[in-house]
Amino acid sequence: MKYKYILFDLDGTISASAAGIRHSLEKACEKFGVSGVDFSNYERYIGPPLLDTLRDMCGLPPELWDDAYDAYKDVYTREGRFMNKPYDGIESVLTMLRKTGAKLAVCTSKLEATAIAVIEELGLSGYFDAVCGSNRDSTRKDKRDLIPYAVETLGGSRDDLSEAVMLGDTWYDAKGAKECGVDFIACRYGYGNNDDMEKYDPVARAESTEEIADILLR
């Protein structure tokens, strides 16, 4: 095993989560009278931090960001997260990786407490040594901040990320890995734009969950 620390994005990499995220965003927008937002293109809002989506995609003014964030979180906690399901084959991949002795973490811009709840709901918590996400105050929401945090949580040093690899399905994951000097594996089966990920020079590309094991264990 080349890597000691294996970091997985959550939405679009571990879990097929688009339906729950879309539902929660639609309900939050509805509550604040926002209409006409096109949620058909998942790559626009699965990957970016939630506050960025509320600001840039939904067009909410700053004075509503906190309330809209809470509205989304409320709907997602009660309804949206139960629409998640793990991608076919991901559990088998995690089982194989655990046997190598590498440490595994979820590394997501989703609120950390929410990410922990999702992983538990998916029945995958036993495969991860840590679940790392953002703070409620919007700190640690970008992958360039989350990756060092995840490695440190796994017992490594945030100043030496040479033994880590990031797996994700969007250019946000790819860009964060690039900024941290960490290898990136593009999970092309997810929601992101594959051409956008290519701009950040992934070291490998997985067209399915099964190919993750082929890449990491070869």
SS3 (DSSP) at 104: strand
Contact at 8 Å (CB) between 179 and 161? no
- Tokens 């879309």 -> residue: 22
pTM for this predicted structure: 0.91
What is residue 51's predicted lDDT score, i.e. its pLDDT? 86
pLDDT in 10s for each residue of the chain, 218 residues? 899 999 999 999 999 999 999 999 999 999 999 999 999 998 888 878 888 899 899 999 999 989 999 999 999 999 998 999 999 999 999 999 999 999 999 999 999 999 999 999 999 999 999 999 999 887 888 999 999 999 999 999 999 999 999 999 999 999 999 999 999 999 999 999 999 999 999 999 999 999 999 999 98
Q: What is the DSSP letter of 157?
A: B
Instruction: Please report the domains of the chain, with CATH numbers, ordered by start residue.
Output: 5-16+85-217 (3.40.50.1000), 18-82 (1.10.150.240)
